[in-house]
Structure 1
Amino acid sequence: MSNSELMSIGAFAQRSGVTASALRFYADSGLLAPAEIDPVSGYRYYSGDQVARASVVRRLREIGMPLGAVGAVLDAGVGEAARLVDEHVAKVVGDAAVAQQKAAVIKSVLGDVPGLLVAVLKGPVLADAVEQVLTAAVHEPGMPVLAGLRIEASHEAVTLTATDRYRLATRTLVSAEPPARAWAGTVSGDELRTAVAGIRRSALVRLEAGRHGVRFRVAGGEDRYCRLLSEPFPDHRLMLASLGEVTTRVTVAKEPLLRVLEEQAGERVSLRVAEGGVDVVSGDDEDRRIRLPATASGRSLRVWFELTTLYPAVSTAIGPDVMLDLRGGDQPVTIRSADRGDLTTLAMPVKPAPSV
């Protein structure tokens, strides 16, 4: 059938994938008028040229786009149409996240069971800790738990942990009130990021755990509620316990190291640690080597990193100086403040290029 041939509404519905009833609705709405209407019978006929437009209308409606927005997309240029589609999808995703969180709140109050006190923490300190640790979280298809923050509370401390399997960040905090019993759960990282601003403004925040989520009770403001993720969190304790012996330790000023990393052109860098300093090498280009003064002990060592792994690990370290504990070119490197141990990040090296 050529594009100039007319077809009945039934034939057009079959070809375009749009039902006849929907085609009548779109015609009445001005989105897709028939090519011709028989003045006697009132039968509607469409042309092959209209199949593409009908298919676009169908796909836009399948993603829940309102009729008015569909018309705007059809009338817009390619760039503007793409922007309108992205804008609609962002709204749908945002609305879904809000609905998901509200549903979790509703489930939390069903049965009116009091939440378990997990910890009482200073709001600004907790907000900073959440932001620091969540730099190691990641959205990965098939493993939604990697986008979460693991919270473990005991009488001694509250530990926050996140990992993307190449990096692991963990920070310990001291609670003003110990929990009635030990508790652990993985909280939605996305919802925690949204809650951080409110948490930061509260002098003290009470963490109360329920079956489906954690409530952050803030003084003089609206409580924040974050869902618990049901998937098992990676066994990070086993990894921490199995770390090998430190063979090289280096302490270097944080800001100069960050500036050097920011100036790297490649996707990977290497750190060559020797007595008196550490060389930062861009990839395998020895001509792009920058020496930073540092305090080093142990054997000389060279380790390669993806820049996207090393930079966040260094940038979130607390204090002016960072300490790196190295265990070899293929073992996790521990990165933390030179004088504070409550925030620790493990960064996984990568293999050196074959030519090295």
Structure 2
Amino acid sequence: MRSIGELARASGLTVSALRFYDRSGVLAPARVDPGTGYRWYTDDQVAPARLVAGLRRVGMPLAGIAEALAHRHEPAVVHRLLDAHLRRLEDGLADARRELSRIRALIDPEEIPMTTRLVLDRADLAAAVDAVRFAVGADPELPALSAVLLEAGSEGVRLVATDRHRLAVARAVGKADGPEVRALLPAGAVDEFRALLEPGEGISPEAHLTVAPDRVEVSVAGHAVAAATLPYDFPDYRRLLHVHVEGAPAYRIQVDVAALRGALTADDVPVLLREYAGAPVEVTVLGLDDRGGLRVVEPEEAADPDGVRVGVNREYLLEALDAGDRGQLVLELDGPITPLAVRRPDDADAFSILMPIRL
């Protein structure tokens, strides 16, 4: 048996860290002296303790450390956990770089140029706008959500919109010249930009986008529309993407949009009525049929604990179907408290997430 101090020296963990992981149920001692409370460990616990120490050094969350330790004899499972954590670290570093660039520009705006120019396919940019516009908020007390976030980088632009109840993300790929920069566009400006992107005979297939923190301009065939950006901080939407989008959903179901829309708008469609902010909300409950396909669940079945159920705002679901319509869409279900994801089967960069409603 090894004392807690001996295990600390052998593993690289401190004594206080070993006590913490014992209290957390991650790495319990083999024996605790009932009289003195001293913790004792076996030689077989040295390797797990070293694994915990390594994961701790790279900032793995406690839940991830516990899961890795529980599956340490299943390399494929642990590798997936490590890959997911590495993606989080890389995304966090990218976010930090963008924020530091913004801070540098605030300190010395003349020294750090923040303008990025992009050449995009006009139709792709229009499709990206259409994919997120429905999720823009309208609450005057939350002006940062009454807008579309535009993130420009080396591979094109990402558009993001949310009203807290739903989130929509889309990307348009193109050539970029300049640093990574983000801008918050008011909804009215987004609608003006979209009008400029309408198809027409003889119109250039390219759209030129100039993005700066305080101004965005879209130009097509010599016609340009510019707008000032909003001075608000957009919510950290990436955390939700890590939790839901990068995970493995329990069910991925391809649906025919026209058929599902017909089922949701039929005169006898089953709905639950809930109240939100003093107004009634129609809730559609989705579940699985006997063949694993999607079906609209009757209200009396909504609380069935043995079935897969998720309730969403019916109007929001219809808008998500319209925004992502390509004939076929993929719906991802995990259960009653996990957001419902709506994806295009041929475009991993365009999707929306609808927050569930308690059944």
Per the shorter chain, which TM-score range? 0.5 to 0.7
Whole-Å Cα distance in 1 between the matches of residues 358 and 220 of structure 2?
46
Does the CA contact (< 8 Å) of 1:156 and 1:178 recur in 2? Answer: yes
1:66-94 deviation per Cα after TM superposition (whole angstroms, max 9, x unaligned)? xxxxxxxxxxxxxxxxxxxxxxxxxxxxx
Q: Is 1:246 aligned with 2:249?
A: yes
1:196 alignment partner in structure 2: 194
Q: Which SS does the other structure have where 1:269 is aligned?
A: strand
Q: Which SS does the other structure have where 1:319 is aligned?
A: coil
Does the CA contact (< 8 Å) of 1:274 and 1:301 recur in 2? Answer: no
Q: Which SS does the other structure have where 1:200 is aligned?
A: coil
1:262 alignment partner in structure 2: 265
Aligned with 1:214 (options 213, 216, 234): 216
Does the CA contact (< 8 Å) of 1:250 and 1:273 recur in 2? Answer: no
Whole-Å Cα distance in 2 between the matches of residues 339 and 208 of structure 1?
28
Q: Which SS does the other structure have where 1:316 is aligned?
A: helix
2:177 alignment partner in structure 1: 179
Does the CA contact (< 8 Å) of 2:182 and 2:212 recur in 1? Answer: no
1:3-23 deviation per Cα after TM superposition (whole angstroms, max 9, x unaligned)? xxxxxxxxxxxxxxxxxxxxx
- The amino acid of 1:178's aligned partner reads A
Q: Which SS does the other structure have where 2:348 is aligned?
A: coil
Q: Is 1:224 aligned with 2:222?
A: no
What does residue range 82-121 of structure 1 map to in structure 2 within 5 Å? Answer: 116-121=115-120
1:325 alignment partner in structure 2: 332
The Cα of 1:234 is off from its aligned counterpart by 0.9
Aligned with 1:338 (options 345, 349, 356): 345
Q: Which SS does the other structure have where 1:328 is aligned?
A: coil
Whole-Å Cα distance in 1 between the matches of residues 355 and 188 of structure 2?
24
Instruction: Give the number of the structure whose alpha-carbon radius of gyration is greater.
Output: 1
Whole-Å Cα distance in 2 between the matches of residues 198 and 309 of structure 1?
27
Q: Which SS does the other structure have where 2:134 is aligned?
A: helix
- The amino acid of 1:313's aligned partner reads A
- The amino acid of 1:249's aligned partner reads R
Q: So what's the TM-score if we normalise by structure 1?
A: 0.59
Whole-Å Cα distance in 2 between the matches of residues 184 and 347 of structure 1?
24
The Cα of 1:321 is off from its aligned counterpart by 1.4
Whole-Å Cα distance in 1 between the matches of residues 114 and 154 of structure 2?
18
In structure 2, do the counterparts of structure 1 residues 272 and 210 end up closer, same or farther at CA, with 3 Å as the change threshold?
closer
Does the CA contact (< 8 Å) of 1:126 and 1:200 recur in 2? Answer: no
1:272 alignment partner in structure 2: 287
Whole-Å Cα distance in 2 between the matches of residues 210 and 153 of structure 1?
9
Does the CA contact (< 8 Å) of 2:114 and 2:181 recur in 1? Answer: no
1:226-281 deviation per Cα after TM superposition (whole angstroms, max 9, x unaligned)? 22111110100111112254112211111100111122474111111144222213
In structure 2, do the counterparts of structure 1 residues 236 and 345 end up closer, same or farther at CA, with 3 Å as the change threshold?
same
In structure 2, do the counterparts of structure 1 residues 251 and 300 end up closer, same or farther at CA, with 3 Å as the change threshold?
farther
Does the CA contact (< 8 Å) of 2:120 and 2:207 recur in 1? Answer: yes
Q: Which SS does the other structure have where 2:324 is aligned?
A: coil
Q: Which SS does the other structure have where 1:153 is aligned?
A: strand
2:279 alignment partner in structure 1: none
What does residue range 116-135 of structure 1 map to in structure 2 within 5 Å? Answer: 116-135=115-134
In structure 2, do the counterparts of structure 1 residues 326 and 120 end up closer, same or farther at CA, with 3 Å as the change threshold?
same
Does the CA contact (< 8 Å) of 1:318 and 1:340 recur in 2? Answer: no
Q: Which SS does the other structure have where 2:197 is aligned?
A: helix
2:297 alignment partner in structure 1: 281
2:319 alignment partner in structure 1: 312
What does residue range 29-44 of structure 1 map to in structure 2 within 5 Å? Answer: none
In structure 2, do the counterparts of structure 1 residues 242 and 114 end up closer, same or farther at CA, with 3 Å as the change threshold?
closer
Q: State the percentage of identical aligned residues.
A: 27
Larger mean Cα displacement after TM superposition, 134-143 or 150-159: 150-159
Q: Which SS does the other structure have where 2:217 is aligned?
A: strand
In structure 2, do the counterparts of structure 1 residues 115 and 197 end up closer, same or farther at CA, with 3 Å as the change threshold?
farther
Does the CA contact (< 8 Å) of 1:152 and 1:185 recur in 2? Answer: yes
1:31 alignment partner in structure 2: none
Segments of structure 1 that go 5 or more residues without pairing to the other structure are 1-110, 288-298
Does the CA contact (< 8 Å) of 1:213 and 1:226 recur in 2? Answer: yes
Q: Which SS does the other structure have where 2:182 is aligned?
A: strand
